Amino acid sequence: MDPLYLLLAMGGGFLAGVINTLAGNGSAITLSIMTELLGLPGNIANGTNRLGIFSQSALGSWAFYREGKLDIRQARPYILITFLGAIPGVWTALQVSNEQFRSVFGYLLIVMLLVILVKPERWIREMTVSERPNYGFVIPIFLLLGFYGGFIQMGMGIFFLAAMVLGAGYDVIRANAIKGLVIAIFTLALIVVFQYTGRIDWRVGLVIASGQALGGFLTARYASRYAQARIWAYRLLIIVVLASILKIFLF
């Protein structure tokens, strides 16, 4: 790999790790690097991208856990339900092109932006979640999230945060902590599937993953220690969603 491309890949991975840890859709950066800069086919890039997602999610979750922001016991139902949804999602990813979902994804983001902008205090308040989740809400929503994450991943963090904050009552920092743990666990299983089908370029993936892991870990530590991090996470989420919408419809 050309040294310049190496630096760009690691730098892009670091930025994606920061964005994914506090908001989501950092995969838009890594997938663009792999397809447009490094020339990987779309289906190979989709599989290779999971290496970085796993590394940043695992280290970010560890950092949140050490800072007391991650309750693994409360995360268990979300892990199980999302994992079950990811099984048919990854099967779908092996059957169809990612591009077939892009237009739908763009319209979903527009809806998401409107949801985020209405009553912003819901995103920056302290945690109000009860001990027992509402399974009537949790099961169908997180099955769909798992399916989507298994299929394409890009943007899943945004939808996951919305479900955790608006539906399950978490504050945005603790929602991000659980998001990272859930994504790390089911992404590890997806890596096995993509590797078995020959859809991972380990040389490219490990370079980008190293940057993502560092970005995810440092961001999780910072977000756990500063009260203002909830506000900045909310602002970053708005920027990421808006930028994603503009990219899909204008470029």
Mean pLDDT of 32-40: 85
Confidence of residue 218 (pLDDT cuts 50, 70, 90): very high
> If phi over 0 gives left and psi between -120 and 50 gives alpha, with beta otherwise, what is residue 36?
alpha
Domain residue limits, the chain: 3-250
Highest mean pLDDT among 121-125, 217-221, 224-228, 245-249: 217-221
The pLDDT of residue 130 is: 56
Residue 10 one-letter amino acid: M
Per-residue pLDDT at 123 exceeds 70: no
Give the model confidence (pLDDT) of 85-111 as tens digits. 988 988 887 776 656 555 666 677 787
Question: Comparing C-alpha atoms, which of 86, 87, 57, 67 is closest to residue 178?
Answer: 57
Per-residue pLDDT at 183 exceeds 80: yes
Mean pLDDT of 148-165: 81
Mean pLDDT over all residues of the chain?
83
Per-residue pLDDT at 148 exceeds 70: yes
22/152: higher pLDDT: 22
What are the b/e assignments for 163-184, b being 16+ CB within 10 Å? Answer: bbbbebbbbbbbbbbbbbbbbb
Terminal C-alpha separation, the chain: 27
Per-residue pLDDT at 129 exceeds 60: no
Residue 111, H or E segment: helix 102-117
Residue 130 one-letter amino acid: S
123/29: higher pLDDT: 29
Question: Comparing C-alpha atoms, which of 63, 52, 68 is closest to residue 209?
Answer: 52
Mean pLDDT of 28-52: 87
The pLDDT of residue 97 is: 60
**Residue 24 and residue 239 in contact, taking contact as beta carbons nearer than 8 Å:** no
The pLDDT of residue 202 is: 96
214/239: higher pLDDT: 214
In angstroms, the CA 2 to CA 12 distance is: 15
The pLDDT of residue 214 is: 95
Per-residue pLDDT at 119 exceeds 60: yes
pTM of the complete model = 0.79
Q: What is the DSSP string of 64-87?
A: HHHTT---HHHHHHHHHHHHHHHH
